[in-house]
Structure 1
C-alpha cells in the first residue's frame, strides 16, 4: 500500500507543507493558524489515511527531534568540521542531525525535511535561505556574521583575527602587508577590511593594498591572480579573508613558489589542512570550531526549548 506523504496532504488542503506539519504535530495554536485551516488539514489527513513517517526520533513536546544543518557544500574541511561538532553537540540534546544541501531552490530543499530548527554553516547557503522562515522554526548561522537580523549568528571576532595575523607577519619582518578579500556587502568582509585599514594602514601610514575577488568566482586561478597583483605592488605579506581562499591559492604551484620570493601568507584555518605544505609558506591560525559549535547549539536550543533548556 502506498504511503501518503505530508506534501500530498498539504497540497490537497491548499496549505504549505510547514502549515500542515504544524497542524498535524499539535503546534498550530502556538503560531495562530486559523481554526478553519486546522480542521481542513485534519479532515484531508483522515480522508487520505495519512500516517506520520515512522522515522521520528527523539520526539520532544510534539517536535520532530530533528535539526537540519544547511550548507552549499559539505566536502570542504571547515564545513566537515562544523558538521562533525554540531552532530556531537546536538545529539547530546537527544536530537538527530539531517544535513541539507542548499541548491538553486533552497525552499524546496528544506521543505523535504520537517525540522525543529536550522543551522546554516556557510554564507552562500544563508544568502539562498528564505529570509523570513516560518514562525516557530529558529535559525542560527554558524561561523560567520549574518547580513540579516532575522538570523542569529555565532562567529569569530574578526577584528582580533586581522590584528593577530598582521602582528604575526610583522614578527616575521613582513612590513608590506596586503589583504585578499571578496567584493560585495558582506558583514565579515567589511569588518576585516575596516580593521586592516584602521589598525594597519592608518596606524602606520601605509598605503592600502587590497586585492578583491568576485563573490561568485572563488576559483584558484582568480585568487592566485589577486595574490600576484599584490606581489607586483611589492607586498611581502598577504592576509587571506578566509581559509577557503588560502587553500585554493595554495593549490596552485605558482602560489607556493612565492615563498622563494620571501612572500608569506597568513590565514585563519585548521593547521591540519596544510600538513603537506611547508611551514614557511603560511602562518595558520586555527579557529576553535568545537567551542563555537557548542555555542551555536546553546543558542539554538535556548530558542527552541526555552522552557526546558538549561544553560
Structure 2
C-alpha cells in the first residue's frame, strides 16, 4: 500500500495540516487538541498506512535516533558485540552508524562526521579515549577501553577480569599462577596481577614473565613451568594463541597439564588444545546495558554481570 501524505490524513480527518501534524508527532495534549479529534486523526493515519517523515521528526524533536559506533576490528569481540548492539538498539527504535578508522579515514574525521550527523551517543569498541569530545555528543560516550584511566562510560575492568581468572584457578586447585605479557604493552595488567594475586596471597617470588616484542612465548612458558606453576594467565588472546601453537608442536605432556587462561577472548580459542579459558565482556549483557544507558535507564548493575568465562 502506498504511504499516505500528511495532507491526505488532514483532509480525510477533516482537520488542518497543522493539527494533524501536532497529533502525529505526539503533541496533541500539549496544544490542547480534543481527545476525540486526536483519536480520529490516528485512526485515519493507521488506515492510510501513514509513515512520518524521518527528517520532519528530527527537526521537530531534535532527536536523530542514530548511534555512532567507532569500531576497532583488531579487538576479537568486535563482530559479536556489534551484532548484539544492532539487535538491541533496533528493538529500541535506534539505528547504528558504524565507522572503521583507516589510512584514508582517521578517527577524528569519523567522529566529526558523527557530530555533524547529530548522533545521540557514541560507542567505541576498541581502545580510543574519547574524553575530549564527550561534551560534543548529547549522551556520554560508552567505551570499551584498555588501561585504568578515567575514560567515560563502560570500559574493560581488568581488575575484575583478573579476579575472575584467579578465582577460577583457585576453584581448580591451581594455586601457583604464572603471568605472561609483553614489556611494552602489558605493564598495567602486570600491576593488577601483582595486586590481585602476588600481594593478596603473599607470594614471595612472583611467577611472571614479560617478553620483548618478537621474543618467543615458549621461553616464558618453560621458565614458569620450571618454577613449579600449575596455571598460566596470558595478557591477551593473541599471546595465548601463540602459546597454543607452540604447545601443539612441542607435545610436552607436562605442559599440557597446566591450566591456561587469558585476559580477553578470541573465538578461535574455543576448540584449542590444550584448553584455554578467557574472561571477557558478555556481548548480550553488554549490549543490553548500553541500550538502557542510551535510553536513560541508569539503574545500578554490578560490573561482574557484564563479564563471563569463555568458552
**TM, length-normalised to structure 1:** 0.60
Question: Which residue is equivalent to 2:153?
Answer: 152
Superimposed CA distance per residue, residues 228-260 of structure 1 (whole angstroms, 9 cap, x where no aligned partner): 453454433111234444345434455884664
Alignment RMSD (CA, Å): 3.9
- Tell which deviates more after alignment, 165-174 or 293-302: 165-174
- Tell which deviates more after alignment, 175-184 or 268-277: 268-277
Superimposed CA distance per residue, residues 57-98 of structure 1 (whole angstroms, 9 cap, x where no aligned partner): 984822333211112216x54111111111112112211112
Unpaired segments of 5 or more residues in structure 1? 1-53, 303-308
8 Å Cα contact 2:92-2:291 kept in structure 1: no
Question: Which residue is equivalent to 1:4?
Answer: none
Question: Which residue is equivalent to 2:100?
Answer: 101
SS class of match (2:197) = helix
Q: Does 1:235 align with 2:200?
A: no
SS class of match (1:153) = coil
Shift of 1:166: 2.5
* Count of aligned positions: 238
- Tell which deviates more after alignment, 234-243 or 264-273: 264-273
SS class of match (2:82) = helix
Q: Does the C-alpha gap of structure 1 residues 118 and 227 become closer, same or farther in structure 2, counting only changes over 3 Å? A: farther
Q: Does the C-alpha gap of structure 1 residues 296 and 99 become closer, same or farther in structure 2, counting only changes over 3 Å? A: same
Q: Distance in 1 between matches of 2:132 and 2:253?
A: 43
8 Å Cα contact 1:118-1:139 kept in structure 2: yes
Q: Does the C-alpha gap of structure 1 residues 291 and 179 become closer, same or farther in structure 2, counting only changes over 3 Å? A: same
SS class of match (1:132) = helix
Question: Which residue is equivalent to 2:91?
Answer: 92
5 Å-filtered alignment, 1:144-223, equals: 147-149=149-151, 151-156=152-157, 158-182=158-182, 183=184, 190-200=191-201, 202=202, 205-212=203-210
5 Å-filtered alignment, 1:17-36, equals: none
Q: Distance in 2 between matches of 1:186 and 1:96?
A: 38
Q: Does the C-alpha gap of structure 1 residues 190 and 55 become closer, same or farther in structure 2, counting only changes over 3 Å? A: farther
SS class of match (1:174) = coil
Q: Distance in 2 between matches of 1:301 and 1:174?
A: 43
Superimposed CA distance per residue, residues 126-168 of structure 1 (whole angstroms, 9 cap, x where no aligned partner): 14x573345244311137566235x222445x44432332343
Q: Distance in 1 between matches of 2:83 and 2:113?
A: 22
Q: Does 1:265 align with 2:260?
A: yes
Q: Does the C-alpha gap of structure 1 residues 148 and 269 become closer, same or farther in structure 2, counting only changes over 3 Å? A: closer
**TM, length-normalised to structure 2:** 0.60
Superimposed CA distance per residue, residues 255-299 of structure 1 (whole angstroms, 9 cap, x where no aligned partner): 884664233202355695434323x53244564221122112222
Larger Rg: 2
Q: Does the C-alpha gap of structure 1 residues 111 and 166 become closer, same or farther in structure 2, counting only changes over 3 Å? A: same
SS class of match (1:178) = strand
8 Å Cα contact 1:141-1:152 kept in structure 2: yes
8 Å Cα contact 1:269-1:284 kept in structure 2: yes
Question: Which residue is equivalent to 2:125?
Answer: 121
Question: Which residue is equivalent to 1:30?
Answer: none
Q: Distance in 1 between matches of 2:222 and 2:57?
A: 53
Unpaired segments of 5 or more residues in structure 2? 1-52, 300-311
8 Å Cα contact 1:146-1:152 kept in structure 2: no
